[in-house]
Each structure stands twice: as C-alpha cells, then as structure tokens.
A and B are shown apart, each in its own frame.
Chain A
Amino acid sequence: MRKALFSSQLTLSSLERSMAHLARKEATLFDIFLQSYEHEVLSFEESKIKNIHLVQASGAGFRTVCELSTGFAYTTSLTQEGLDNAAKQAASLAGNPLAHRLPSSYSPVGHNVKNIQPNPLDLQEKVALLNHIDSYARSLDSDIYEVNIQLSTYLSHHCLLNDLGAMSTGARPMVRLDLQLFAQKGEKRESSYVGSGGSVCWRQHLGESFVESTVQEAYRQLLVAFEAQSAPGGQYDLVLGPGWPGILLHEAVGHGLEADFNRKKTSVYSDKIGQRIASPHCTVIDDGTLKDSRGYVGIDDEGIEAKKNVLIEKGVLKSYMNDRQNAHLMKAALTGNGRRESFMCPPMPRMTNTYLDNGSFEHQEILESLKDGVYAPNFGGGSVDITSGQFVFTAQEAYRVKNGKILYPLKDMTIIGSGPEVMKNILMVGNNLQMDPGIGTCGKNGQSVPVGVGQPTVKISQVTLGGTDV
C-alpha cells in the first residue's frame, strides 16, 4: 500500500504537514483522502481483443466542514506546495486561519487490505478466458452474429487522515464482466445482457462454472427476447423476481433514506423515524460489511466502520444512512455510509448493499397468486425523484401472467410508481433472498459508486406499467 501511494516526494509527513492548513479550530471536522488507483478494461469483440484501456490516477482530496458548510479541493499535484494550496482552498470557509486544532498523532482505525498486486502476465490468462467465453457462446446458436465482452479490473489504494486523529488505509479491488449477445433470426435482431462482479480479484470471481452459467443465462435471455411481445400499459399487479429486481428498493426507498435529504427535509421520508412507511412484510437493510460484494465498504471513506444497518423493520422506519456531517447535524449515530467516487469528490451519504430481508412465502406460491399482472425477474436501470418519491425503471425481462400462469414474454417495459405507495402495497415477500450478480452502479450529485441490491420474490399491487398495448 505504501509503495502504491507514497514516494520520496510524497510521504505521510507531507500529508501531516498539509493538515496544518486544513485544521481550523472552528471546523466541525476535516480530512485528507489520498488515493491512487488503476483501472484496466479489456474489450473483446469479433472474437478478438479489440482494445485495452488502462487508467491511472493519483491525487488527494481535502475537506473542511463547518456545520452546514463544506469546503473541498482536490489536487493531482502531489508536491508539498500542491497539497498545501489545496488544503488552504478547502479551509477557506472555515474561519480564522490562525486558530488550529491539529491532532497530535494519528492511529490506525482498521485496514481494508487485500494482497492483490496487478500483474501484466495476467493478460494471457484473461485473454484465454475471454476467448473461451466467446467460443462457447457462439457454439450455442449459429444465429449469434456478435459476442461483446468487457472485463474490467480495478485496484485502489487510499490513506485517510482526519480531525479525530484517525488514519484509515485500505486497498479495494473490483472486478466486473459484461457479456452481450447479438443474434438475427430472419429479419429480426435482438440482444441480451448479463453482468457479474464483486469486490474481489478477478481470478476468484471468474471460475469455470461461472463461464458456463453466465453464457447460458445470456443465451436464455436472448431467446426470450425473440419471443417478447408489446407490454401492456396501465395499472397491474406485479411480481418481482429475487436478486437484481431489488433495484426497486434502491430507487423507491433507498435514496429517500439518505440522511442529507432528510436533514434538509427534501425527502418524502423526512421526520418519519418511528412511523410506518411500508408494509409490515418489509424489513430493509443496508449492509456495507458483506465481504466480496460490489457494495462492500469495510471502513467507509471517512474512516468510519461500515455496519449492517436496519433501515426499516417490519414496515417501521428505524434509521437513515448518514455520513459524519449529517450525523453531527442530526445528532444521530454514525452508520458508516460516508462514500465518495474518488479523491476528486467530497463524501456524502450513499448506499452500500441494500436489500429486503426474507419473508415467509414460497416463490411459486407468490407467482400462482397473480391473477392478472406481470412477472419481472430481470431489470435494467432506474431513477428516482426523492422529493415526490416517484421512481422509474425498465424491466429487461418480464412476462404476462394470468391466473398464476406465465403466458408470454414482454419487451422493454417501463415501471413507474411512488416509492411510499409501492412500499405500502407490498402484499407478499418470499423466503428466497438473493443479492444481485454484482453490477450495480449508483449515481448521485454527479458521483458514481458501486452498490449491491437484493430481495426475495415480492408481489406488489397496482403499479403503473408503460407499454404500447393499452
């Protein structure tokens, strides 16, 4: 970690010296986040390595918070002068520059280290793997005319110093595989997408059984796409499958429970701690400690230990997700949800792995209870207006259901609704909780962070579907 972050020019002492410009007495809190990361993306198309893109970045972000106000600056100029200038910029709003409260020393608060060193020789093995995925996919059907694969590996090292005298260091790996199949049958062309990833080394994630199951799943979805018919428009009962459809929770209620929105009272869930905001079947958890998951945090980007936070318990709102600033302003306990995209951004309350806990129903039981509606086991992306609670997302795979029987697949269906209403209209929750395959990326205020979502099978009454068949 030290070799990745520091050099003869940039040492821990350099950071400590620049802290002197940041450490204003009037500040509520302050921190320095030094980071160095590498990102490698292999693009495999037309049965060959099409492109390799390598990214490297190193820099430091400086933050000072005085109650409601935040000063932030980052620099990629990691000389003492560069660090000091950025520290002074960040401290501009924090009052008297001559009054300090510098920590006397820094103590480690936990170390998220995984011994992973990027090795260029990995490339041969990665290329062999991608060739295997490509040839296996093409062998399944001669109508498949293109296989696009992208393998992304990421490794970040960071060191945080803050006003509490804490020093948090860590190394975070991330891997992600994206697979797209394109096929033409007669005049019709369709595609499918499957992805998978986690906060692990790529070798740990991409074993032999993974290849077969992933490609077969992509092919299955491709065949479904060719059979898909226009989706209905209007209000219907909806059954969501386990795993990735947990994005519903992420949009419908997750963002609305981030503390900054609730502190400002711009969330539809503001001032509702202790009140029933969801069906009694619902217990919603945000957990940054799930090892190897995409949303794994361990120690968050403010040096606070991540936790398993129960946000909603049997329908009653228990907690928001906060960062240090909002926890201070709301006089709430820290939850370890202070996250940032990189050193170029200040942290703010973000989700980690957010899921609906198990209920008691069997999956088949829930499906058979659907008299006239839609079953959606797979989703695309979504978004939310946290003030009104309105959310939207796209179902990547869905089926028309009548009297508990699946009739035919539907294409590209949009689901729109109100988060509070949907959460109250959850009628049945299954006992088959699954997390998503590790592909979630959440955007907020221009920052993207990796997240996990999950749920069991769920039935919801009267949701608005956007299709052309009305």
Chain B
Amino acid sequence: MSNLLQPALCIEHFEQMEKDHLEPFLDFCLQTLLKSGVDDYEMNYSCTHSYELASRLMTIEKLEFEEGFSLSVTLYKGAKKITFSSHGCFISKWQEQLQKALFFLERVDDDPCVGLQRGYDYTQVPSSFTEQFYPTTLSYTELSERLLHLESVGMNHQHIINSEGASLTLCYELEGKLNSKGLRYRQLHSYYQASVALIAQKGDLLQQVDSCYQGSLSDQLFSQLDPIGLSAQKRALDKLSQRSIESGSYPVIFSPRVSSSVFQCLFSALSGQSQYKKSSFLLGALGQSVLPSWMDLIHQPCLPGAHYSSLIDSDGLQAQEQTLIQSGGVENYILSLYSARRLGLEKNHLAGGVKNVFITSNAEHQQEIVSQFDKVIVIEDLMGTGVNLLNGDYSMGINGALYENQERLFALKEATVAGNLKTMLSQVAFHGADFLPYTNIRSGATAIEAMTVSCA
C-alpha cells in the first residue's frame, strides 16, 4: 500500500493471487491425487485478502493486512477416510503431508458410512456463485475518515467517557470445492464489518462498556455508520445504574441480538451427529413437537444477497430450500451424508449446518412483545458457557433489564437466567419480525413464558 489514496483492497491483486499461486497449486494437487491410489477425494480451498483498520480516541491505532491460502483434503480408500489441511501453497510441504496422510490412511479403522454420494451427478451442480461479491474502491484515507466519524458519533455524549475503539474490516474471500466425481464449485464473496465499543460512566457508578457491530456484503455499510455508533452509545448508557431484583420465575425476552443462540441450540440438538451419538436433549425428535404449533422454521441456503448463502452444502450436494420445523414439529434433522447413513435416513442436503433460517413471527418487534407482559426481563447480552446439549440444562450470565408496564426500569446487577432448553422451546410465547439483517438464523425478539432469574 504505497499510495494511501489507492483502494485498500485491490481486486486486481486478488485476481492475480488466484491466477499465479492458487490455480497452479490446485492443478498440481489434483494431478498428484489422481496418481495417489485413493478411491476418492475431496478438496476445499480458500483464498483470503482482508484489511482491518482500527482507531481509538480519534487516533488510527491499527492496520492489519491479511493474505492467505488454505487447502483441506479428504482422502477415501475403501471404507477408510483421513483429512489433512495446510495453509500456504508449498508444494514440498503439501507433498510431505500427503505422504503422511496416505501412511495413516492404511491404518485408520474401517467405517462403512464414509464416502462421497454414490450415483449422484456432481457435474450438474452449479460451478460458480459470484453474486455476493461487491468490491470496494475505498482508499485508506477514505476509510480512516469514516472510521473516526463512527467513533466520534458514539462518543458524543457527556457520560461516554472512554472508548475501547472502533474498527472497519474489509474482506474478499474465494472458496471452492472439488472432488473426484467431477464437482467443481467456486464461490466469491465480499464482507464488510463496522464495530465500536464505548465506555459509559456517571458519577460514582461503576463504568460499563458495550458495543455494536454490523456486517454487510457491500461497502455501502460504511456510508451508514451513525446508527452503529449511536447504538453502542445507548447500550453502554443503558447499563449504568444496575440494581438487583428478587430471584424467582419471570417471563424473559431474548433480544434480537442474542435470540439466535437459543435456536442454534435447537439446531445443534437436531444435528445428525448428536442424534447418532445420542448426545442430544431432543433425541429421536423427528416428527415430534418441539416448538409451539404456530412456528415454522425454513432454511433458504441460496438466498441472493445474504452473507451465508451457498449453492452447495458442505458435502458438495446442491443446496435446497428445506422446511426444518413445521407447525412446531421436526420435519428434518440437520444431516450430512455420513450422519444420514448412520441413522438410515435419506440425505437432505443440509451438511455443514443451516443457512438463512427464517422463523414465523407473531409480533412485529420487541416493544410489541414487551407490551404483552406486566413485568418481563429483557436479555440484551449473554455471558458464559452453561449450556448442556445432552440434557438441555441451561444456565447463563446475562446483561439485561427489568421492564414493567412497558417501561424500562433499570439494568440488572449480576444476573443469571436458568431453565431447560426443551421446556424453553416449547414455551416460546412470542417471536418478533425484528431480526438483524446480517445474521444466519434470522430470529427476532423471542419471549419465553418463564425462566428462573437470579440476581446479586
């Protein structure tokens, strides 16, 4: 970056990296694998070009530039499988790894469920997906101005006394998948993210920090930074004046920022792996009711303009729209080829997890849901790791607030929320349409009828 006025990420350089380094390396790897004596193989590769600029208190403090390649290869021979991966395009090191992998492959135990999909025409899978790529022309100088503006908007309040900093991240990523049965898939996407974390203090009250971040496929995000700065400011200020409440059972609302984590627990419990390993609190739930009957969850993997979209699943099968939950009942487990075979079920093109999940809503937004309760706890952030997916026990630290008669009274001091996921999911009372646009699981504010809240 010898010229601060040139685009921070250079598309020509990225394309040159692909042409001069990645393509010859991949060709070499493919030719070598053809002669290696394995029955089948899969290759996943990525080429990343990214740039992060960070500031604090109106000074540019960090410039991080990343340029890297990674390649992961899975080899199959009979009923055996092994995976190896490398970062960088080093032919000699890759060859050493391949030899080691071939040695190990002979000694791995047989597993009749491994392998590519037999009888599937991988050549019919679309070969390219570039509709998520929006290159930027923003230079270091322009980015710096916008970054400093983001932080200054957030700091413009008498009770915002410090900043952990703001950052803008730009990324181009090329991902691809090949296999021995003719799959050739390449996906190019861009990603832009803005974030800021601010510290509030008032009088002798303990200082509090909070943040806001947002992502997008397009650099237009960097022209709309004010709401991000103001949101971080509000979140930090709202955490001041924390008070305790009596520990007990309360209705709770998971705000849009954290509600997807509850549904992610659902999908983890419905994964094929957790089913065949018998490590799910929803064991054998196919066809059973897990959510209220008004709720559907739809997986839309190919949605145009969505960050997580892909035309294939992680097994290389063509992605398909799926109904995961219908009228509250489980229609599909989240299956890979391997877990489908283990469970004796049909493949359903969901390998690698869910993408762009839409959830039925029965309310517009969080405020409408708050109005349904005399007294309710709104959870604004979650802390900790207290989720047991085997039995569904759930116990997490929270940053939240007590609402009474639709009015936010105060933030809670040292609060936790506890319950059981199976019960929580069956007791979803309301779900809002106010999901955050850049998320994978598009869940809005989600109210659970009752959970145990403990406070200091």
* Chain A residues engaging chain B, CB cutoff 8 angstroms: 7, 36, 45, 48-59, 68-78, 86, 88-90, 92-93, 97, 120, 123-124, 127, 145-146, 182, 184, 188-191, 231, 233-235, 264-266, 268, 344, 346, 380-383, 385, 387-390, 392-394, 411-414, 416-418, 464-468, 470
Find the B residue at minimum CB distance from A85: B67
- Are the CB atoms of B65 and A93 closer together than 8 Å? no
Residue B388 is within 8 A (CB to CB) of chain A in the complex: yes
B window 245-298: CB within 8 A of A = 247-249, 277-279, 283
Q: Give Cα A467 to B453, complex, Å.
A: 8
Which residues of chain B are within 8 angstroms of A346 by Cβ–Cβ distance? 64
Find the A residue at minimum CB distance from B108: A49
Which residues of chain A are within 8 angstroms of B140 by Cβ–Cβ distance? 92
Given A71-B63, A233-B454, A382-B385, A78 and B108 contact (CB-CB distance below 8 Å):
no
Interface bits B49-87 vs A (CB < 8 Å: 1, else 0): 000000010011111111111000000000001111111
Find the A residue at minimum CB distance from B87: A57
Residue B366 is within 8 A (CB to CB) of chain A in the complex: no
Which residues of chain B are within 8 angstroms of A268 by Cβ–Cβ distance? 206-207
Q: Given B1, B64, B390, B452, which contacts A88 in the complex, CB threshold below 8 Å?
A: B1
The number of residues on chain B lying at the interface, defined by a beta carbon within 8 Å of a beta carbon of chain A, is 77
Which residues of chain A are within 8 angstroms of B414 by Cβ–Cβ distance? 390, 416-418, 464
- Known pairs A74-B65, A120-B103, A467-B395; list 12 more (Cβ under 8 Å): A52-B82, A53-B83, A54-B101, A89-B65, A90-B65, A92-B63, A92-B140, A182-B279, A233-B454, A383-B385, A414-B397, A468-B452
Find the B residue at minimum CB distance from A345: B64
Which residues of chain A are within 8 angstroms of B383 by Cβ–Cβ distance? 383, 385, 390, 392, 416
Find the B residue at minimum CB distance from A62: B65
Residue B90 is within 8 A (CB to CB) of chain A in the complex: yes
B window 374-405: CB within 8 A of A = 383-386, 388, 390-391, 393, 395-397
Given A394-B385, A394-B395, A56 and B93 contact (CB-CB distance below 8 Å):
yes
Find the A residue at minimum CB distance from B62: A70
Chain A: interface secondary structure?
Answer: strand
Pairs across A and B, CB under 8 Å, 20 listed: A48-B111, A56-B96, A57-B87, A58-B93, A69-B63, A71-B62, A146-B278, A189-B390, A233-B452, A265-B162, A268-B207, A344-B66, A385-B209, A390-B397, A393-B384, A394-B385, A414-B397, A416-B456, A464-B416, A470-B249
Given A72-B63, A411-B393, A381 and B384 contact (CB-CB distance below 8 Å):
yes
Which residues of chain A are within 8 angstroms of B248 by Cβ–Cβ distance? 470
Q: Given B67, B93, B104, B283, which contacts A123 in the complex, CB threshold below 8 Å?
A: B104
Which residues of chain A are within 8 angstroms of B396 by Cβ–Cβ distance? 392, 414, 466
Given A416-B397, A466-B395, A54 and B1 contact (CB-CB distance below 8 Å):
no
- Are the CB atoms of A57 and B109 closer together than 8 Å? no
Q: Give Cα A116 to B62, complex, Å.
A: 37
Which residues of chain A are within 8 angstroms of B82 by Cβ–Cβ distance? 51-54
- Are the CB atoms of B59 and A73 closer together than 8 Å? no
- Are the CB atoms of B66 and A7 closer together than 8 Å? no
Closest beta carbon of chain A to B40's beta carbon, Å: 16
- Are the CB atoms of B415 and A264 closer together than 8 Å? no
Residue B135 is within 8 A (CB to CB) of chain A in the complex: no
Closest beta carbon of chain A to B76's beta carbon, Å: 12
Find the A residue at minimum CB distance from B395: A414
Q: Give Cα A467 to B150, complex, Å.
A: 40
Among A51, A90, A124, which residue has the most Cβ atoms of chain B within 10 A?
Answer: A51
Which residues of chain B are within 8 angstroms of A77 by Cβ–Cβ distance? 21, 67, 88-89
Q: Give Cα A464 to B206, complex, Å.
A: 18
Which residues of chain B are within 8 angstroms of A73 by Cβ–Cβ distance? 64-67
- Are the CB atoms of A53 and B454 closer together than 8 Å? no
Closest beta carbon of chain A to B320's beta carbon, Å: 27
Find the A residue at minimum CB distance from B279: A182
- Are the CB atoms of A59 and B395 closer together than 8 Å? no
Q: Give Cα A467 to B416, complex, Å.
A: 8
Which residues of chain A are within 8 angstroms of B279 by Cβ–Cβ distance? 146, 182, 191
- Are the CB atoms of B418 and A466 closer together than 8 Å? yes
Q: Given B85, B92, B419, which contacts A53 in the complex, CB threshold below 8 Å?
A: B85
- Are the CB atoms of B62 and A470 closer together than 8 Å? no
Top 3 A-B residue pairs of the complex, sorted by shortest distance between their CB atoms: A466-B416, A76-B88, A392-B397
Residue B97 is within 8 A (CB to CB) of chain A in the complex: yes
Q: Give Cα A139 to B109, complex, Å.
A: 22
Which residues of chain A are within 8 angstroms of B4 by Cβ–Cβ distance? 92
Q: Give Cα A143 to B182, complex, Å.
A: 45
- Are the CB atoms of B83 and A54 closer together than 8 Å? yes
Residue B370 is within 8 A (CB to CB) of chain A in the complex: no
Residue B309 is within 8 A (CB to CB) of chain A in the complex: no
Which residues of chain B are within 8 angstroms of A388 by Cβ–Cβ distance? 206-209, 239
Which residues of chain B are within 8 angstroms of A68 by Cβ–Cβ distance? 56, 59, 61
Residue B157 is within 8 A (CB to CB) of chain A in the complex: no
Find the A residue at minimum CB distance from B21: A77
Which residues of chain B are within 8 angstroms of A231 by Cβ–Cβ distance? 395, 418
Q: Given A74, A385, A418, which contacts B68 in the complex, CB threshold below 8 Å?
A: A74
- Are the CB atoms of A414 and B87 closer together than 8 Å? no
- Are the CB atoms of B86 and A56 closer together than 8 Å? yes
Which residues of chain B are within 8 angstroms of A264 by Cβ–Cβ distance? 56, 162, 164
